[in-house]
Structure 1
């Protein structure tokens, strides 16, 4: 029985006059492409190409087969693509809003498990809530419970922020908190905001005051902060969910692991949509992954 893939390989060789180029185009190895052609020629009972130096020249039988097969293969591929498109269109749609870093690290890697079409909107908390109120999104994930009519918040998870530094950063010992705080204030801090939002939280929790320091560098997002740390630009507070690969590759290190700060994250949606099947399915799936 002729394999459909043999015909696809034959057509590719015919178009490119080359086994190696056809293999590259179809993302196959050259031996696998040659096996497809040999199997088809054995089935047909004739050579389909004349092998010249670095060129495959179709025989008369090859030319005839090409004109017969191409319309059929193209029609079959169009029908297959149409089936895929129809199946995709039948999937329920869920529009999710979250912070960029959270979506990239915690949602995007698992997007195939949801059995629905995910459309992501990424931004800061105030923007996420605005999108939810305008019904541009179905559900948002955020670390603030901002008051808004008709919005329901449910607890989701905690994110932990740790002090992160380049791997060769010196980590002194201190006998008292005052000395530790003074040392922290003297370090080059990198922040994603001039107001030092998470750094202020860290200082309030561990030193019961505002930080007496200013950021050396301010960059637009936490991935940029982490990249700057990797290259020795300073230290910062980074969510631990972003660090696994970087720690494994010894690109950064966590300093003073007992000094962390936590954010409570919530899922929020319009109360009128709380019984939406795709919303309920997604929430239950997320709870199982925490």
Structure 2
């Protein structure tokens, strides 16, 4: 007789294409996860994955079984979690983590809509994730996904970064990337850090190399970097959600609009809290703000 847990383990392995990663996600040992798969394959009567030294890939029978099982397991798990949520205590305070610039632009304006008290934490994705794992945060918005047992990620939005200059900055136009890269390398730059975060991404993505520049100013705050660009301190890379007012009032302009990069932003929360009403409320309110901007 098939154990339901075998099905859950099979679907998790299928999603991660890895027994070890699936074991971490389900908080099981790797041998136990392998036993579930072996038992299910014995019950089915054929292999569900092709195993190599580096990865496993589903067989045609594995693909067929996953397409049948995945929606059923998701429905059952959601129903179970909904029942649990009704017996969980109501959260009177919710702890939110985000980069302070994102919080200022996207979360702070929405605070009056929340039906709870909030405690906010700011920091890097790594710092905030540690707080989440320690139950010092309930939900965070981050641009990285880490394979962390018990933590679930939900796609929120894409943030776009562009090169920005003061409005009166003289931009030399070229018809090829090499000359654009050479000209940009000769300019003064304001950076979030000495390691050139995001600036480095643009160089690697578009010029296929590391930037050979040294920032003239390092300011670990995007609002202050934008202000520095506006007063003529140099060029920088800024997310577009911070730029609207500055562009509309003619204080800055975008340089080489095709040289842009995107980050995916995610909500992260502990799986055990997935169906808590306030978690879903916070997500809904923040998403409403994103939808309002599209209207």
Q: Give TM-score scaled by structure 1 length.
A: 0.66
Partner of 1:54: none
Q: Could you say which residue in structure 1 is the equivalent of 2:200? A: 200
Aligned to 2:102: 102
Unaligned runs of 5+ in 2: 1-89, 291-295
1:202 is displaced (CA, Å) by 0.7
Task: Give the conservation status (yes or no) of the 8 Å contact 1:193–1:219.
Answer: yes
CA drift of 1:258 comes to 2.1
SS in 2 for 1:215: coil
**Aligned-partner Cα distance in 2 for 1:123–1:289:** 22
**Paired positions, count:** 201
Matches within 5 A, 1:59-78: none
**Partner in structure 2 of residue 173 of structure 1:** 173
Summarize the Cα distance change of 1:106–1:200 in structure 2 as closer, same or farther, 3 Å threshold: same
Work out the CA distance in 2 between the residues paired with 1:173 and 1:247.
20
Shift of 1:288: 3.0
1:1-290 alignment, distance < 5 Å: 92-290=92-290
TM-score, length-normalised on structure 2?
Answer: 0.65
Alpha carbons 2:141, 2:266 under 8 Å: kept:
yes
Q: Is the 8 A contact 2:106 2:289 kept in 1?
A: no
Please give the secondary structure, in 2, of the residue aligned with 1:237: strand
Larger Rg: 1
Distance 1:97 1:91 in 2: 16
Does the 8 Å contact 1:164/1:235 carry over to 2? yes
Query: Could you say what the CA RMSD is over the residues aligned between the two structures, in angstroms?
Result: 1.5
CA contact (8 A) 1:190 1:234 kept: yes
Q: What is the CA deviation profile of residues 78-132 of structure 1, one whole-angstrom value per residue up to 9, with x for unaligned ones?
A: xxxxxxxxxxxx9832211000100001111121122222221111111111110
Any idea what the Cα deviations from partners look like across 1:220-275, whole Å, max 9, x if unmatched? 21112111111111001001111112122222111222221111001100111111
Q: Secondary structure at the match of 2:121?
A: strand
Q: Distance in 2 between matches of 1:168 and 1:258?
A: 20
Q: Secondary structure at the match of 1:197?
A: coil
- Any unmatched runs of 5+ in structure 1? 1-89
C-alpha separation in 1, matches of 2:243 and 2:149: 37
User: Helix, strand or coil for the counterpart of 1:213?
Assistant: coil
1:82 corresponds to: none
**Distance in 2 of aligned mates of 1:120 and 1:250:** 33
CA distance, structure 2, for counterparts of residue 134 and residue 91 of structure 1: 17
CA contact (8 A) 1:91 1:117 kept: no
Q: Secondary structure at the match of 1:111?
A: helix
Q: Distance in 2 between matches of 1:272 and 1:178?
A: 50
